[in-house]
């Protein structure tokens, strides 16, 4: 329970995340579930594309699919609409120095996707999605550095990035390809050789970190 308090996540959150991801990637393009959201929460087509690109930049495609390929962008939109990781609590946004009033709901919670879209576009001097790949990556890297600087604990990007990682590592590519999945963990070995290529096990809760 102590670990849950520190991370803001519980096993119930994790199961909920996996269920939301199954919805997001179980329908072609996730369009059906995203359009099924309340009208006030449904994203625009541009926001769906933007979140996919943002997720793909956070975890790019390598020998395994990237986070955008795995549906993590759609998962983030669904997760935010459902308030995963406390994102619909007024206190979660009231403490954010970067949460401007135009991105807040009447209850004080933050419209994270609207905030991110506007923040990236302002940094790009226009259409972030229309910029070359390297420029998009540079702008997002600058936002990431700002969010994880000392004293920026309540920065909205931290929540979004955490949900991208959750979405990816609870997806089939993230959980079964990027991480190791072994139904039978075998015998206990107190010392095993590790290398940069050693992958954490997706079925070991202690090996999964979010944020």
Rounded CA separation 208/57 (Å): 20
- Which pair of tokens denotes residue 130? 């229309």
Model's pTM, two decimal places? 0.72
**Residue 86, by phi and psi: left (phi above 0), alpha (psi -120 to 50) or beta?**
left
Position 20 scores a pLDDT of 53
Position 63 scores a pLDDT of 81
- Which pair of tokens denotes residue 208? 């999964």
| Average pLDDT score over residue span 124-149 | 96
| 187, 191, 192, 198: CA torsion to nearest 10 | 110
Q: Is the pLDDT of residue 99 over 90?
A: no
Each residue of 70-82: pLDDT tens digit?
888 988 988 888 8
| Average pLDDT score over residue span 92-114 | 78
Phi and psi at 205, nearest 5°, equal -55, -35
Position 9 scores a pLDDT of 43
What percentage of the chain exceeds 90 in pLDDT?
A: 31
Each residue of 141-168: pLDDT tens digit?
999 999 999 988 889 999 999 999 888 8
Distance from first CA to last CA of the chain, Å, rounded? 18
For residue 57, CA distances in Å to 80, 167, 188 come to 19, 14, 37
The answer to whether the CB of 53 falls within 8 A of the CB of 127 is no
| Average pLDDT score over residue span 116-122 | 96
Task: Tell me how long the chain is.
Answer: 211
- Which has more confidence, 197 or 84? 84
User: Mean pLDDT for the chain?
Assistant: 75
């Amino acid at each position: 329970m102590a670990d849950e308090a520190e991370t803001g996540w519980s096993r119930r959150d994790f199961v909920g995340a996996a269920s939301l991801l199954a919805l997001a990637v179980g329908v072609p393009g996730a369009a059906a579930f995203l359009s099924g959201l309340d009208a006030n929460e449904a994203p625009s087509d541009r926001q769906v594309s933007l979140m996919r690109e943002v997720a793909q930049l956070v975890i790019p495609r390598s020998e395994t699919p990237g986070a955008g390929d795995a549906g993590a962008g759609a998962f983030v939109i669904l997760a935010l609409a459902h308030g995963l990781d406390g994102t619909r609590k007024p206190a979660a946004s009231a403490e954010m120095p970067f949460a401007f009033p135009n991105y807040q709901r009447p209850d004080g919670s933050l419209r994270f996707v609207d905030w991110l879209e506007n923040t990236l576009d302002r940094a790009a001097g226009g259409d972030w999605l229309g910029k070359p790949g390297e420029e998009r990556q540079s702008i997002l890297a600058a936002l990431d550095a700002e969010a994880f600087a000392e004293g920026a604990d309540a920065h909205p990007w931290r929540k979004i990035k955490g949900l991208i990682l959750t979405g990816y590592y609870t997806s089939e590519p993230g959980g079964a390809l990027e991480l190791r999945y072994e139904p039978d963990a075998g015998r206990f070995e107190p010392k095993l050789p590790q290398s940069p290529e050693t992958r954490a096990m997706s079925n070991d809760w202690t090996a999964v970190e979010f944020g």
